[in-house]
Amino acid sequence: MEYYNYIKALHLIFVITWFAGLFYIPRLFIYQIEAYDKEEPEKGILTRQLKLMAKRLWFIITWPSAILASTFAFILLLMIPEWLQQPWMHVKLGFVVLLYAYHFKCHLIFKELQNDVVKWTSNQMRLWNEGSTLILFSVIFLVIVRDAINWIYGVTGIFILAIMLMLGIRIYKRIRAKNPDA
């Protein structure tokens, strides 16, 4: 147990960098999708640069962070196996599975865009971008309040957050329609 705080700190650091990658990669996807609508040579220059940026972010930061965050999480669970008996941990692990599903879907989108296959609109990608935000909010509140959470309020709060995020995206879309440089 003398290393508990070090392992926990490393777990949190890599969770933060993992989420940083998951927050930024959809933004790069949005820019890539929008670059395909540009005229040459701007289109070619932008797509090459954005592909390179996405590749570096994905393979140098996001994937290693996901693996290291999970590795340190497994070590913590080995150090404190009683956590696996607690209901909040079951819910948290469910969110981790959901986060990995989100991560793998981002990986598929990454591979498509690297091969110049565009299946999403920039607005669809903006909505997709909020998935990791909802997971992050859910996990942080769950871990901090644990058993004290009132699930009705918690679920309602997540839905309100999702609605606010979607409204924000719609407002941004309207602003952008009026001013394309916004």
The Cα 72–Cα 123 span in angstroms is: 35
pLDDT value of residue 55: 98
Mean per-residue pLDDT for 81-107?
Answer: 93
Q: What percent of the chain has pLDDT over 90?
A: 64
Mean per-residue pLDDT for 145-170?
Answer: 75
11 marked among binding-site residues: yes
The Cα 172–Cα 106 span in angstroms is: 23
Q: Are 65 and 106 contacting, i.e. CB atoms less than 8 angstroms apart?
A: no
107 marked among binding-site residues: no
Q: Are 112 and 79 contacting, i.e. CB atoms less than 8 angstroms apart?
A: no
**Residue 80: left if φ>0, alpha if ψ -120 to 50, beta else—which one?**
beta
Query: pLDDT tens digits, residue range 21-72?
Result: 999 999 999 999 999 999 999 999 999 999 999 999 999 999 999 999 999 9
pLDDT of residue 148 exceeding 60 = no
